[in-house]
């Protein structure tokens, strides 16, 4: 498919993070424009080709098809609009040899040239095409080599058994150890130390799970016997499974070494270190790119012998792992998504626990029925609370009708409603300070990643020591911020100050039924949470407490 005649010179620029430093979007575009003026001036004047800019800022180069700017560029290419693509450097387009090769093949099919300003490659010449492929191959090789170095350094850190930060597991404290080397330089690192009042609970969890053989039964036992998490919440099945699956509690001996080896776990420690005196420590257990919420496969874990002592004997820990495997097919499955608008708002008027939505049967009209059930009642199997459930569909509609009946005037512009919501959100974020701390924690996490990257590239012993020292310093700051954040979470029920809720809540309360029906369920939930402080259900009456109430 030959691309003949006048067309577009497309400039493509990309940067992973929003910043004006270094090879910013602006600098990339400027360099491309200068190249066009000095090398393609005749083509632009004679064919009257226009210059179009395509850019992706704050977007990774990993996947071509997920970038809006690149998608628009390819769309214009397929429409026959683009004659030449100019970029600052080839890795701005793709970091994958496969993707880049596929793009060049596509460009060749449309008769479109590709120019890389920094490498001075032009695919309109045979040598340019050859050099472009070679450069992309070496770029990928360099990235893979760096990744390998980082992994090697992670293994080296794992071998020391040190604690690299994050929320400390139940049963342990994170202790800072300061030492002085032969040169008189001070060094610090972190290790785990048993916290006796919590380790008693950990042991209880393991032994009771083996006794009951079920996470649900263990959950019920803990609720009925008034055991709570560090944050004062009731234990849930997923929290319990995470504790029971964590190698950090296991005593490192020959028995568990053989078990880990036979079951494909990633071990990075010599068998001699599994001496029965240490505990295990696992790195790369969670997928950080997924927010830390997804657990990696066992073969991707980096397991070593830690500096701490194990809490649970290897035999007991292995029995628990085997029982979890056997029960995995029987685990509880949440019902399909239901639009329970009052989730996180309705509380039990008897015990104060949240009432959680539970899926029910589908009605004749096709509507999915659901109900709100007291969390304490569910987990204690009725041992601590017996408040009746309430039909969720009915309660949601009654609450919306009640709110609509309070209107004094109609809200005509949905944009105004959105502006109102943003103002309230901005105020609340500023007031509780949690968002600020979360951003700081994220920033220090990024710093640690960059330091590990630098560690992978380091070939100098002194430099490596300095980087390790900085990793410890940043980890120390991050740990303190996390402690501060968790304290704020505990105190989040405190008064939010004299914010003029009356002014903003009144606007939100004045929605008519017709207007309300046009808003998506997720946004309806957000609005209700900003208007309603809480709703209590005592089995007979539902009482609504508005945030603008005195």
Would you say residue 69 lies in a domain?
Answer: yes
352 vs 385: CA distance, rounded Å: 10
Q: How confident is the model at residue 159 (pLDDT cuts 50, 70, 90)?
A: low
Would you say residue 379 lies in a domain?
Answer: no
Give the tens place of pLDDT for each residue, 481-535: 777 777 766 665 444 443 343 434 444 445 555 556 656 677 777 777 777 888 9
In the prediction, which pLDDT does 206 show?
Answer: 96
In the prediction, which pLDDT does 441 show?
Answer: 75
The answer to whether residues 99 and 196 belong to one domain is no
Would you say residue 401 lies in a domain?
Answer: no
**Closest Cα to residue 470, out of 485, 455, 491?**
455
Q: Which residue has the higher pLDDT, 436 or 13?
A: 13
Q: How confident is the model at residue 269 (pLDDT cuts 50, 70, 90)?
A: confident
In the prediction, which pLDDT does 483 show?
Answer: 75
Q: For 22-176, where are the alpha helices, taking DSSP H only?
A: 25-39, 41-47, 68-78, 97-109, 126-160
3-state DSSP of 331-374: CCCCCCCCCCCCCCCEEECCCCCEEEEEEEEECCCCCEEEEEEE
Main-chain phi, psi angles of 8, to 5 degrees = -115, 140
Q: How many CA atoms within 13 Å lie on the side-chain side of 130?
A: 3
Q: How confident is the model at residue 140 (pLDDT cuts 50, 70, 90)?
A: low
317 exposure class (CB count in 10 Å sphere: 0-12, 13-18, 19+):
buried
In the prediction, which pLDDT does 143 show?
Answer: 57
488 exposure class (CB count in 10 Å sphere: 0-12, 13-18, 19+):
middle
**Closest Cα to residue 536, out of 259, 340, 351?**
351
Residues 6+ apart with CB under 8 A from 537: 346, 347, 348, 349, 355, 372, 387, 390, 395
Would you say residue 526 lies in a domain?
Answer: no
290 vs 282: CA distance, rounded Å: 18
Q: What is the pTM of this model?
A: 0.51
The answer to whether residues 255 and 290 belong to one domain is yes
With a cut of 50, say whether residue 20 has pLDDT above it.
no
With a cut of 80, say whether residue 95 has pLDDT above it.
no
Q: How confident is the model at residue 401 (pLDDT cuts 50, 70, 90)?
A: confident
Q: Which residue has the higher pLDDT, 232 or 493?
A: 232
**What average pLDDT does range 301-320 have in this prediction?**
90
Q: Which residue has the higher pLDDT, 501 or 124?
A: 124
With a cut of 60, say whether residue 291 has pLDDT above it.
no
In the prediction, which pLDDT does 155 show?
Answer: 58
In the prediction, which pLDDT does 507 show?
Answer: 43
Q: Which residue has the higher pLDDT, 99 or 70?
A: 70
Q: How confident is the model at residue 320 (pLDDT cuts 50, 70, 90)?
A: very high
210 exposure class (CB count in 10 Å sphere: 0-12, 13-18, 19+):
middle
In the prediction, which pLDDT does 522 show?
Answer: 72
SS3 389: coil
Angle between helices 215-224 and 237-245 (to 10 degrees): 110
Indicate the residue among 279, 312, 330 that finishes a domain. Answer: 330
**What average pLDDT does range 349-363 have in this prediction?**
83
**What average pLDDT does range 37-48 have in this prediction?**
67
Give the tens place of pLDDT for each residue, 58-72: 776 666 667 888 889
60 vs 66: CA distance, rounded Å: 9
Q: Give whichever of 181-195, 355-369, 376-390, 509-523 has the largest mean pLDDT.
A: 376-390
Would you say residue 357 lies in a domain?
Answer: no
Total tally of structural domains belonging to the chain: 2
The answer to whether residues 142 and 180 belong to one domain is no
With a cut of 60, say whether residue 336 has pLDDT above it.
no
Q: How confident is the model at residue 142 (pLDDT cuts 50, 70, 90)?
A: low
Could you tell me what percent of the chain has a pLDDT over 70?
A: 67
The answer to whether residues 213 and 316 belong to one domain is yes
In the prediction, which pLDDT does 452 show?
Answer: 67
Would you say residue 278 lies in a domain?
Answer: yes
Poorest-pLDDT segment among 172-186, 388-402, 427-441, 498-512:
498-512
Radius of gyration of the chain (CA): 30
The answer to whether residues 34 and 87 belong to one domain is yes
With a cut of 80, say whether residue 382 has pLDDT above it.
yes
Would you say residue 499 lies in a domain?
Answer: no
**What average pLDDT does range 192-207 have in this prediction?**
93
Place of tokens 């959950």: 219
The enclosing domain of 203 has a CATH number of 3.90.1750.20
**What average pLDDT does range 372-378 have in this prediction?**
90
Q: How confident is the model at residue 211 (pLDDT cuts 50, 70, 90)?
A: very high
Q: Which residue has the higher pLDDT, 470 or 111?
A: 111
The enclosing domain of 121 has a CATH number of 3.40.50.1390
Specify which residues 53 forms β-bridges with. 11
With a cut of 90, say whether residue 405 has pLDDT above it.
no
Poorest-pLDDT segment among 221-225, 253-257, 353-357, 469-473:
469-473
Q: How confident is the model at residue 297 (pLDDT cuts 50, 70, 90)?
A: confident
**Closest Cα to residue 304, out of 280, 322, 288?**
280
6 vs 8: CA distance, rounded Å: 7
177 vs 191: CA distance, rounded Å: 7
The answer to whether residues 247 and 107 belong to one domain is no
In the prediction, which pLDDT does 513 show?
Answer: 54
| Cα 212 versus chain centre, distance | 33
How far apart, in Å, do the first and last CA atoms of the chain sit? 71
Poorest-pLDDT segment among 38-52, 111-125, 453-467:
453-467
Residue 390: C-alpha distances to residues 30, 163, 365, 381, 397 (Å): 63, 47, 20, 17, 13
In the prediction, which pLDDT does 294 show?
Answer: 66
The answer to whether residues 71 and 121 belong to one domain is yes
In the prediction, which pLDDT does 549 show?
Answer: 47
With a cut of 60, say whether residue 420 has pLDDT above it.
no
The answer to whether residues 205 and 126 belong to one domain is no
**What average pLDDT does range 19-43 have in this prediction?**
78
Give the tens place of pLDDT for each residue, 254-267: 999 999 988 888 78
The answer to whether residues 256 and 289 belong to one domain is yes
Indicate the residue among 267, 301, 330 that finishes a domain. Answer: 330
400 vs 532: CA distance, rounded Å: 11
Which residue segment(s) compose the domain that 33 sits in? 8-147
CA dihedral 322, 323, 324, 328 (to 10 degrees): 110
**What average pLDDT does range 429-434 have in this prediction?**
49
Q: Give whichever of 139-148, 323-332, 435-444, 505-514 has the largest mean pLDDT.
A: 323-332
With a cut of 50, say whether residue 418 has pLDDT above it.
no
3-state DSSP of 169-180: CCCEEEEEEEEE
The answer to whether residues 142 and 223 belong to one domain is no
**Closest Cα to residue 298, out of 283, 288, 318?**
283
Contact at 8 Å (CB) between 387 and 348? yes
The answer to whether residues 75 and 193 belong to one domain is no
In the prediction, which pLDDT does 207 show?
Answer: 95
Indicate the residue among 113, 147, 181 that finishes a domain. Answer: 147
Q: Which residue has the higher pLDDT, 224 or 415?
A: 224
Mean pLDDT taken over the chain: 76
The answer to whether residues 131 and 232 belong to one domain is no
Would you say residue 223 lies in a domain?
Answer: yes
């Amino acid at each position: 498919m030959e691309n003949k005649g006048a067309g577009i010179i497309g400039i493509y620029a990309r940067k992973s993070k929003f910043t004006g430093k270094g090879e910013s979007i602006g600098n990339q575009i400027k360099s491309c424009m200068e190249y066009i003026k000095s090398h393609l001036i005749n083509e632009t004047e004679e064919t009257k080709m226009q210059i179009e800019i395509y850019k992706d800022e704050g977007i990774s180069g990993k996947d071509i098809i997920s970038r809006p700017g690149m998608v628009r560029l390819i769309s214009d290419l397929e429409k026959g609009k683009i004659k030449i693509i100019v970029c600052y450097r080839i890795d701005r387009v793709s970091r994958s040899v496969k993707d880049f090769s596929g793009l060049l093949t596509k460009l060749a099919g449309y008769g479109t040239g590709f120019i890389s300003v920094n490498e001075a490659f032009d695919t309109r010449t045979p040598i340019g095409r050859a050099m472009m492929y070679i450069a992309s191959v070496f770029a990928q090789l360099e990235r893979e080599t760096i990744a390998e170095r980082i992994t090697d350094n992670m293994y080296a850190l794992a071998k020391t058994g040190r604690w690299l930060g994050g929320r400390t597991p139940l049963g342990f404290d994170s202790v800072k150890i300061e030492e002085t080397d032969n040169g008189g330089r001070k060094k610090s690192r972190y290790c785990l130390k048993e916290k006796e009042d919590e380790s008693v609970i950990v042991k209880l969890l393991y032994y009771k799970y083996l006794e009951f053989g079920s996470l649900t039964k263990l959950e019920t036992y803990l609720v009925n016997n008034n055991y709570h998490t560090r944050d004062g919440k009731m234990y849930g099945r997923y929290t319990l499974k995470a504790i029971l699956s964590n190698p950090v509690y296991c005593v490192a001996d020959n028995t568990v070494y053989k078990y880990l080896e036979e079951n494909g776990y990633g071990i990075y420690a010599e068998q001699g270190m599994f001496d029965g005196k240490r505990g295990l420590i696992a790195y790369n257990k969670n997928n950080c790119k997924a927010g830390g919420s997804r657990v990696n496969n066992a073969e991707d874990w980096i397991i070593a012998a830690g500096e701490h002592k194990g809490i649970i004997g290897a035999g007991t820990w292995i029995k628990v792992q085997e029982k979890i495997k056997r029960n995995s097919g029987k685990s509880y499955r949440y019902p399909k998504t239901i639009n329970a608008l009052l989730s996180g708002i309705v509380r039990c008027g008897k015990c104060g626990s949240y009432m959680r939505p539970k899926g029910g049967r589908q009605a004749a009209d096709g509507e999915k029925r659901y109900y709100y059930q007291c969390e304490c009642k569910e987990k204690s199997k009725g041992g601590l609370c017996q408040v009746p459930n309430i039909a969720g569909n009915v309660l949601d509609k009654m609450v919306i009708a009640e709110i609509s009946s309070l209107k004094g005037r109609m809200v005509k512009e949905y944009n105004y409603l959105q502006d109102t919501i943003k103002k309230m959100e901005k105020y609340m974020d500023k007031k509780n300070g949690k968002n600020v701390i979360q951003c700081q924690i994220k920033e220090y996490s990024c710093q640690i990643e960059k330091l590990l990257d630098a560690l992978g590239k380091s070939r100098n012993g002194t430099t490596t020591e300095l980087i390790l020292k900085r990793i410890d310093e940043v980890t120390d700051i991050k740990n303190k911020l996390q402690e501060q954040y968790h304290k704020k979470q505990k105190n989040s029920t405190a008064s939010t100050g004299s914010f003029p809720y009356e002014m903003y809540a009144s606007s939100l309360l004045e929605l008519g039924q017709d207007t309300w029906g046009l808003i998506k369920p997720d946004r309806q939930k957000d609005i209700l949470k900003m208007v309603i402080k809480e709703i209590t259900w005592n089995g007979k009456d539902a009482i609504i407490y508005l945030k603008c109430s005195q």
